[in-house]
């Protein structure tokens, strides 16, 4: 895992570069080809696989140019709107790419086509695009709150030590909101302090872990009483169920 490289792209995206033992590599969600080419050169790696999580431009924008230049196989969701997918993947599919063995988890909500890639093992790995963020979750553009809640629950059920690689550095803004929603959470306070220190040195706050997200991410904690209290204190209706609480948290964050 330590060999996984964050390639910054646009203002706040990360394209993840996964080296294989033979000098080839995979990238996840190459929204832009240029920084990927630069990283491959710098690391002395060739590209032989691309993993796509969903159709948004900041995740697929570099696909065509990379595919033209490199002999690589492109894996992604079933969505005709994405040009250049060689292997369409759906829920429960297992796929070996280079040194990696992924299980595909369907996580609709942010978009309807969104999938995540999970690898079990000593250090389990999760590449979850714009579904689960460090301290937050993606906006619900195409699905429903119930759908997004179900998708996040699926990810929350993964092993506690799973390293979570999301696609954006949104952590500080997410944690500012999390502190408003869950003000008495001590672990969250400590996380915010660590994240601020990392960002002040220009370091990524990613990957996080499933256990850290479950302890501090309000969008995985809508069943906890503290979140309902946080919503009430903000003059919002916490609803009667975890899904209703989640929907209200998401609506609040959208305006925060
Ligand atoms: Zn997106
Ligand atoms: Fe994105």
For residue 228, the model assigns a pLDDT of 94
Spatial distance between the Cα atoms of 208 and 225, rounded to a whole number of angstroms: 24
Q: State the number of CA atoms in the 13 A half-sphere of 6 facing the CB.
A: 17
Point out the ligand nearest to the CA of residue 12.
Answer: 2
Measure Cα distances from 254 to 164, 179, 228, 235 in Å. Answer: 23, 15, 17, 16
Is 59 catalytic? The answer is yes
For residue 223, the model assigns a pLDDT of 95
Is 161 catalytic? The answer is no
- State the distance from the centre of ligand 1 to the C-alpha of 56, rounded, in angstroms: 5
Is 29 catalytic? The answer is no
- State the distance from the centre of ligand 2 to the C-alpha of 161, rounded, in angstroms: 24
Look at residues 166, 54, 63, 167 and name the one whose alpha carbon lies nearest to residue 113. 54
Look at residues 105, 126, 138, 113 and name the one whose alpha carbon lies nearest to residue 55. 113
Is 70 catalytic? The answer is no
Measure Cα distances from 141 to 5, 29, 69, 150, 247 in Å. Answer: 29, 18, 32, 15, 13
Q: Report residue 106 CA to chain centroid gap.
A: 13
Digits of tens for pLDDT over the chain (256 positions)?
A: 459 999 999 999 999 999 999 999 999 999 999 999 999 999 999 999 999 999 999 999 999 999 999 999 999 999 999 999 999 999 999 999 999 999 999 999 999 999 999 999 999 999 999 999 999 999 999 999 999 999 999 999 999 999 999 999 999 999 999 999 999 999 999 999 999 999 999 999 999 999 999 999 999 999 999 999 999 999 999 999 999 999 999 999 999 9
For residue 149, the model assigns a pLDDT of 98
């Amino acid at each position: 895992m330590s060999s996984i490289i964050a390639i910054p792209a646009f203002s706040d995206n990360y394209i993840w570069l996964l080296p294989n033992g033979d000098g080839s590599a995979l990238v996840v969600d190459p929204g832009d080809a240029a920084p990927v080419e630069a990283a491959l050169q710098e690391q002395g790696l060739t590209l032989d696989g691309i993993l796509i999580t969903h159709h948004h431009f900041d995740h697929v924008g570099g696909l065509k140019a990379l595919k033209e230049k490199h002999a690589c196989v492109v894996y992604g969701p079933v969505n005709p709107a994405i040009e250049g997918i060689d292997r369409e993947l759906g829920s429960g599919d297992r796929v070996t790419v280079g040194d990696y063995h992924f299980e595909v988890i369907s996580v609709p909500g942010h978009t309807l086509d969104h999938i995540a890639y999970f690898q079990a093992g000593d250090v389990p790995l999760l590449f979850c695009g714009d579904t689960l963020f460090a301290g937050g979750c993606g906006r619900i553009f195409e699905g429903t709150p119930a759908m997004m809640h179900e998708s996040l629950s699926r990810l929350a059920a993964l092993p506690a030590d799973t390293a979570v690689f999301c696609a954006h550095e949104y952590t500080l803004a997410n944690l500012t909101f999390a502190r408003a929603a869950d003000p008495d959470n001590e672990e969250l306070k400590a996380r915010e302090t660590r994240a601020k220190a990392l960002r002040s040195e220009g370091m990524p706050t990613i990957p996080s872990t499933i256990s850290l997200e479950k302890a501090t991410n309000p969008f995985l904690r809508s069943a906890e009483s503290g979140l309902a209290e946080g919503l009430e204190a903000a003059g919002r209706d916490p609803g009667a169920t975890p899904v209703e609480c989640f929907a209200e948290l998401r609506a609040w964050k959208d305006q925060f």
